[in-house]
């Protein structure tokens, strides 16, 4: 199968609830100051982890080979307050991603939608989890989901959770058994239709990268 061609969406400036401006969040991970209108949260590093930011490992290689653990039966809350489970996605290939709104990689929110649309009509979905584990998600669950929607996301967005360390949600604690826990925002885990974790892609591997597409195609 020939790789699909994707259009990469740039990061827009949003004024969500009057609290967040993203004009300083560049798509290449540059560290630029950003001012907020009403937020009292101190300015956080907005890079992609490549300069040694929190949680960035020396080697963050993609792990698309051996199958890992099963996430079947693991429950979590959705952004709308409903209870969900990975069993709800049985029969679908799922790309699970930890997302954040104040990161140099935040344009991947739109890239994830490009991927979602590329596989429309097939048993595939992106599943996004807002997280402040790297101190770059000041928004609450509802606002984070609205932020994703404002960037065009139609894929499901879950409630805000922790994705690293002892406080990691059980889903991400299990996902971490395939190639390690997230080292930065936008770490991606591919889950097969039977609930088995089959691949991990690092934060700087874009959702529309040929390697991600190839792994999805093999799983479908």
> 159-184 burial, b for 16+ CB within 10 Å, e for fewer?
bbbbbbeeebbebbbbbbebbbbbbb
Q: Are strands 124-130 and 93-99 parallel, antiparallel or unpaired?
A: parallel
Asked whether 7 and 110 are in contact (CB, 8 A), the reply is: no
Q: How far is CA 108 from the centre of its chain?
A: 8
Question: With the CA atoms of 106, 152, 119 and 219 taken in that order, what torsion angle do they form, in degrees rounded to the nearest 10?
Answer: 40
How is residue 114 written in tokens?
Answer: 């490009």
Return the active site residues: 103
**Quick one: which of 159, 134, 126, 127 has its CA closest to 145?**
159
Question: Is the CB of residue 34 less than 8 Å from the CB of residue 102?
Answer: yes
Q: Which helix (H) or strand (E) holds 20?
A: none
């Amino acid at each position: 199968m020939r790789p699909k061609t994707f259009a990469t969406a740039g990061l827009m400036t949003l004024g969500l609830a009057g609290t967040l401006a993203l004009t300083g969040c560049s798509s290449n991970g540059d560290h630029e100051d950003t001012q907020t209108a009403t937020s009292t949260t101190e300015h956080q590093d907005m890079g992609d982890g490549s300069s040694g930011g929190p949680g960035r490992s020396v080697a963050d290689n993609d792990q698309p080979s051996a199958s890992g653990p099963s996430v079947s039966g693991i429950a979590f809350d959705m952004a709308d307050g409903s209870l969900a489970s990975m069993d709800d996605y049985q029969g679908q290939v799922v790309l699970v991603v930890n997302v954040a709104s104040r990161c140099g990689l935040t344009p991947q929110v739109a890239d994830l939608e490009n991927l979602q649309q590329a596989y429309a009509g097939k048993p595939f979905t992106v599943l996004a989890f807002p997280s402040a584990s790297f101190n770059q998600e000041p928004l609450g669950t509802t606002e984070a989901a609205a932020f994703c929607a404002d960037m065009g996301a139609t894929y499901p967005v879950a409630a805000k959770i922790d994705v690293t360390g002892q406080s990691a949600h059980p889903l991400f604690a299990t996902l971490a058994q395939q190639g390690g826990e997230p080292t930065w925002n936008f770490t991606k885990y591919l889950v097969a239709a039977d609930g088995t974790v089959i691949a991990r892609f690092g934060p700087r591997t874009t959702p529309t990268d040929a390697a991600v597409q190839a792994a999805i195609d093999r799983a479908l």
